[in-house]
Chain A
């Protein structure tokens, strides 16, 4: 009896679903078809905004970098922060992407950036609806005539820091902490591995993924396990999770300042993250960083859009050649020999003598 009633209840849910579902397909799409994609108005009216992923503009990583780029662009062109100039929209969870992108378009921003590959689907969806607005997606490729896709050759930069890691390691054990296993993060891992193998074929590389871009304690655990098993250099491509790698490295260095512990930072020059003081001595565990100039890309594409040359439908790749990828300016922990070696590999990549793989085999 009880079971039957429960069954009845369940079937009611289903029945409700069916009835509602049936009325789902009786409406035509009436997308506004003014078809003015790619065109922009006068320069002075130009407005630009960006939608962050859940990291926010203070993630010490690419959201922050993108916002810095946008601020620089605004300053250069006399724009003010706000609806009439430039503005960011913070996403608090995945469901906010579409809402935020749509809100930006509805507030008449001429160009809307989606920061991070997580926003790809959302950008595609809104771009198909809001055909008067131009969109750009960073770190991914999205379809649409009014969408510019900005990608980086992270594998090239990762190759260079891989060279640094391969030459620095003493234990021949190197770690890689990735955020979420995905095409993007695999690019970092593949380039890094190739770089290490080019200069140090004996080195073992332990590639692991945290499954999360925003979990510093998980990053710290993974780093503790890697350092514990003898690794002395860890490259992280894990956003906020990577902050835990720094924490663990600094703890170890604090306990034993003579121990060889290095972290390679990502996206921005993360030298500041690795600074610590032990026995009254200023130390830094950041070996170098793989810098990805999201800011330059944002400024670049904004400028093109303002000049009416928005690269809609195109995929723009920023690599070493375009100044979109480089190793960090802070080079205190790299010896001159290593820097020379990096320089020579960089030249070989530029000359096309080395083809850096972008996928793990």
Chain B
């Protein structure tokens, strides 16, 4: 186990190394890394419009990261965040379109629908794991594909009349924010970021401040010991997956009610759910870490879009940087070892 300072140092060093190696890659491929990173910063934080877009980008990353992290703390690997996000997305849009209610009821209901759909989608691998010991990684991966094609079918044949997109959700179920849009010169920023931050606080409270959270973490550390201590391991596995799925579903609701405001036929996975795995890993599976990691990912991904325009550096460079960061986080023992050597040398 690492001590406290190390758990903070390792991600920071990984990010620094990732950016450093990214700079080397830029030099080798004939670009100026200062221009490149300058453009990246400008494109993510340099103008109010870009800030708005970055915050919008961060929102689903927080939820996806929380979803992966929550399951991970219980010793489960939820690869199905992508699928849970998609069903949450379409469920929230569906509820948004199907009812005509005052905003104070309609919007929470649509958001809740997203969470419930995600939770149900994660319940299936949870119950299969608990009852039959089917490995959740396999089931959640498969469920992603089922979700993708089910959602596409629903969009085309059930919610819309053979269209490629659903109608836009009415204002009463929309997270869109004319206020922020005006403030950030028509970026797609919406109120979801506050819900995401609230989600992170709830994540912290459930895991760290409740006895349920204690049980969940305990099962994550050692199933046998937990069972011996009188905890119901199977129940905790299902519960963990359900809560994880609810976070993922909320992420989908943010996209469905906020960023887009409608559902559409997905030609491929959105990728947010998979990036959530990296966000959780980098964030050390704790609430504040996930928020910070999501912010970093949002900045990198958003800035990447502007890099080619401003500095000619292709967007793919950011993928390389992210991959290197994840590589170093994943091999954190190397960094911990080096830190120790460094300390000893100093003494």
Interface assignment of B76: CB less than 8 Å from any CB of chain A: no
A130 B53 Cβ-Cβ under 8 A = no
A103 B103 Cβ-Cβ under 8 A = no
Q: How far, in whole Å, are A131 and B49 apart by their CA atoms in the complex?
A: 17
Restricting to A97-114, which residues have a CB under 8 Å from any CB of B? 98-100, 102-103, 106-107
A4-46 vs B, CB cutoff 8 Å, 1 = contact: the mask equals 0110011011111110111111111110000000000000000
Interface assignment of B175: CB less than 8 Å from any CB of chain A: yes
Q: How far, in whole Å, are A183 and B89 apart by their CA atoms in the complex?
A: 23
CB neighbours of B202 from chain A (8 A): 9, 12-13
Q: How far, in whole Å, are A121 and B149 apart by their CA atoms in the complex?
A: 21
Restricting to B66-125, which residues have a CB under 8 Å from any CB of A? 103-104, 107-108, 111-112, 115
A25-B302 contact, Cβ under 8 Å, with A13-B195, A13-B198, A95-B57: no
- Chain B interface: which of A193-201, A210-218, A280-288, A350-358? A210-218
Restricting to B232-277, which residues have a CB under 8 Å from any CB of A? 243, 246, 250, 255, 259-260, 262, 264-268, 270-272
CB neighbours of B265 from chain A (8 A): 180-182
CB neighbours of B149 from chain A (8 A): 211
A24-B185 contact, Cβ under 8 Å, with A2-B210, A89-B309, A181-B156: no
A180-B267 contact, Cβ under 8 Å, with A21-B108, A21-B175, A90-B315: yes
Interface assignment of B3: CB less than 8 Å from any CB of chain A: no
The answer, among A53, A87, A95, A102, for a CB contact under 8 Å with B309, is A87
A13 B250 Cβ-Cβ under 8 A = yes
- Name the 9 nearest CB pairs between A and B, nearest first: A21-B107, A16-B198, A27-B179, A27-B178, A14-B108, A2-B212, A129-B186, A20-B191, A213-B267
Distance (whole angstroms) from the CB of A7 to the closest CB of chain B: 11
- What are 8 pairs between A and B in contact, CB < 8 Å? A2-B211, A20-B191, A92-B301, A92-B304, A107-B309, A129-B186, A183-B164, A212-B268
Interface assignment of A135: CB less than 8 Å from any CB of chain B: no
CB neighbours of A126 from chain B (8 A): 186
B212 A21 Cβ-Cβ under 8 A = no
Distance (whole angstroms) from the CB of B87 to the closest CB of chain A: 16
Distance (whole angstroms) from the CB of A298 to the closest CB of chain B: 19
CB neighbours of B267 from chain A (8 A): 53-54, 118, 179-180, 212-214
CB neighbours of B111 from chain A (8 A): 13-14, 17
A182 B315 Cβ-Cβ under 8 A = no
A94 B264 Cβ-Cβ under 8 A = yes
B191 A13 Cβ-Cβ under 8 A = no
A117-B164 contact, Cβ under 8 Å, with A2-B211, A21-B175, A182-B265: yes
Interface assignment of B305: CB less than 8 Å from any CB of chain A: yes
Interface assignment of B138: CB less than 8 Å from any CB of chain A: no
Q: How far, in whole Å, are A99 and B149 apart by their CA atoms in the complex?
A: 26
Interface assignment of B174: CB less than 8 Å from any CB of chain A: yes
A121-B315 contact, Cβ under 8 Å, with A2-B212, A29-B178, A92-B304: no
Interface assignment of B176: CB less than 8 Å from any CB of chain A: yes
Q: How far, in whole Å, are A130 and B198 apart by their CA atoms in the complex?
A: 33
Distance (whole angstroms) from the CB of B18 to the closest CB of chain A: 18
Which residues of B are at the interface with A, using a C-beta cutoff of 8 A? 49, 53, 56-57, 103-104, 107-108, 111-112, 115, 148-149, 152, 156, 162-165, 171, 174-179, 182, 185-188, 191, 194-195, 198-199, 202, 205-206, 210-212, 243, 246, 250, 255, 259-260, 262, 264-268, 270-272, 301-302, 304-306, 308-309, 315
Known: A2-B210, A21-B175, A211-B152. 4 other contacts (CB 8 A): A13-B115, A13-B250, A29-B182, A106-B49
A6 B164 Cβ-Cβ under 8 A = no
A90 B308 Cβ-Cβ under 8 A = yes
Residue of A nearest to B54 (CB): A99
The answer, among A25, A95, A98, A180, for a CB contact under 8 Å with B171, is A25
The answer, among A54, A99, A129, for a CB contact under 8 Å with B302, is A99
A6 B185 Cβ-Cβ under 8 A = no
CB neighbours of B191 from chain A (8 A): 20-21, 23-24
Q: Count chain B CB atoms within 10 A of each CB in A30, A90, A215 and give the residue with the most.
A: A90
B177 A24 Cβ-Cβ under 8 A = yes
The answer, among A22, A54, A98, for a CB contact under 8 Å with B104, is A22
Residue of A nearest to B310 (CB): A83
CB neighbours of B270 from chain A (8 A): 93-95
Residue of B nearest to A49 (CB): B309
Interface assignment of A96: CB less than 8 Å from any CB of chain B: yes
A121-B148 contact, Cβ under 8 Å, with A17-B108, A54-B268: no
The answer, among B178, B182, B186, for a CB contact under 8 Å with A102, is B186
A182-B57 contact, Cβ under 8 Å, with A22-B104, A28-B178: no
Distance (whole angstroms) from the CB of B40 to the closest CB of chain A: 14
CB neighbours of A53 from chain B (8 A): 267
